[in-house]
Structure 1
């Protein structure tokens, strides 16, 4: 079987899982955006005070040292997919993978929803430079890891009585390789967040400092 046939087979076998996981994630994004409207005035003011201090710090160049920033960012991303990897090796972990995808959607939806709701187009601009770029990699990586984990978990259920030597070894290696490749991609994301994101945020924070003060 050549590479194109393998890819077609993979898509055919997992398309429903990708659609399901994507719906869960998008539902989380919508829920997170709606949550912004549920905040009290005091809560919104408290978040805005925090953002005001953050914008001022960014405007003055007060960033974490790049190595520390990379380590913190990479640790956060790698923990997320390692949890998915572990959950994929147990049947009871399958629904928890969906919970993680939903929560990731909630975090993104709330962040962007709050910025746009409170700061209008300037908040959208800040979201475009601080949230969007890295999530163009993070979200697909997360969805691919989630679907691969769910597919492996389902495979274990279907073949729980099989004793053939390759019944679990080959799927497990493919599953682990997917997680490993995603980890490499997320290391690149962490580098971007440590070196490039601060520069991009510094471009737009001057116009936000006065608005949030």
Structure 2
């Protein structure tokens, strides 16, 4: 393996390890954050979750329609990737990329931690059905976009202030192509999240309602 390629692979691996550690730290922080909630806050969130479970179980439409869910998921997921791409275009964006990776971990850690804390293994069952499937792909996409953005930002610093090794344009094209490829993957993930995840959740929700002992309530009250 050429020396430059070995150094590049080593640098990339180090960045992947770093952003992965940031993400995992965020997950842990999010799970711990659940314990900081007051009893009233936990009850309020649990009430909204109960409404959500019953809505899914009784097949209510409206906000949970496939097209609306797809556009909502696509918009949110593309914003993550797009913002990371923008932050990678400047040196000052580096800490913001780190913050995004940490925040993503916090959101997932808090969501899973709250459901497990409230419903024990039944909450874990619902988390595996509703959160895990799309995030098994989405999280690597976000981490890969972060590494690409960090690499480009570092190269930008070296090119402009240290080595001045010619045009940055080819590296920019490569960076943008990587982000565009990841964005296409996000489209597929959003389709899965909108059309497949609700079906999986609908299979799991009746078991969760029965095991968690949540009372039945009419859709008209939701």
TM-score bracket for this pair, using the shorter chain length: over 0.9
- 1:64-213 counterparts in 2 under 5 A? 64-161=64-161, 162=164, 164=166, 167-210=167-210, 211=212, 212-213=214-215
Q: Give the equivalent residue in structure 2 for 1:22.
A: 20
- What TM-score results when the alignment is normalised by the length of structure 1? 0.93
Aligned length: 209
4+ residue segments displaced more than 6 Å: none
Q: Which residue of 1 aligns with 2:219?
A: none
1:7 CA drift (Å): 7.3
RMSD: 1.8
Please report the TM-score for the alignment, with normalisation by the length of structure 2. Answer: 0.89
Indicate the SS of the match to 1:62: coil
- Looking at structure 1, the residues matched to 33 and 5 of structure 2 have their Cα atoms a distance apart, in angstroms, of 39
- CA drift of 1:126 comes to 0.4
- Inter-partner Cα distance in structure 1 for 2:196 and 2:5: 34
Aligned to 2:31: 33
* Residue among 47, 50, 72 paired with 1:49: 47
Inter-partner Cα distance in structure 2 for 1:155 and 1:32 = 33
User: Deviation of residue 13 (structure 1)?
Assistant: 2.5
Q: For residue 11 of structure 1, report the CA deviation from its aligned partner.
A: 2.4
2: CA distance, partners of 1:95 / 1:144: 16
Which shows bigger deviation, 25-34 or 153-162? 153-162
Quote the offset at 1:29 in angstroms.
0.2
List gaps (5 residues or longer) in structure 2.
Answer: 216-222
Cα distance in 2 for partners of 1:116, 1:8 equals 43
Select 2:58's aligned residue among 57, 60, 63: 60
Find the counterpart in structure 1 of residue 220 from structure 2. Answer: none
**Over residues 3-25 of structure 1, what are the superposed CA-to-partner deviations in whole Å (9 max), with x where a residue is unaligned?**
xx997664223111111111111
Cα separation, 2, equivalents of 1:16 and 1:163: 24
Give secondary structure in 1 for the equivalent of 2:160.
coil
CA distance in 2, matches of 1:121, 1:28: 22
